[in-house]
Amino acid sequence: MDIYEVVFVIGRILYGGYFMMMGWNHFKNTEMLAGYAQSKGIRSPKLAVRGSGVLLLAGGLGILLGVYVEWAVLALVLFLVPVSFKMHAFWSVSDPMAKMGDMTHFLKNMALLGAALMMLMIPTPWLYAIL
């Protein structure tokens, strides 16, 4: 295993692990996150939180294991795009502190989205994919 392979596997662990932790958080803290979702006008907030948790877990696990990469990226895109524009619409927030927080989350999500899309250019099967 050369250094690039090691770095690639570490990157998959960090990137996929991040989404898996966020997905787990959606199930562990459903009530709290549903309250926030409801405050942003989301209908059926508990269902939305749990559904987005499934997308996060599926996307993160696929990246981490290096399997079904296209489906994993699709799950992450299906999470990141709507959540970014609905939950973190900083341009419509008047409170400066809330606006700054939403802008930070929006931009972070756009960076995560860009990284997910770039993964589609890495030939599959990935090195050390499980399966």
Give pLDDT tens digits for 11-22: 999 999 999 999
Q: Which residues in the chain land under pLDDT 70?
A: none
The fraction of the chain above a pLDDT of 90, given in percent, is 97
The fraction of the chain above a pLDDT of 70, given in percent, is 100
Helix/strand/coil for 107: helix
Q: What is the pLDDT of residue 60?
A: 98
Question: Which phi-psi region, left, alpha or beta, contains residue 44 (left: φ > 0; alpha: ψ -120 to 50)?
Answer: left
DSSP alpha helices (H): ranges in 29-121? 30-39, 45-65, 69-87, 96-119
Q: What is the pLDDT of residue 74?
A: 98
Q: What is the pLDDT of residue 76?
A: 98
Q: What is the pLDDT of residue 131?
A: 77
Q: What is the pLDDT of residue 1?
A: 82
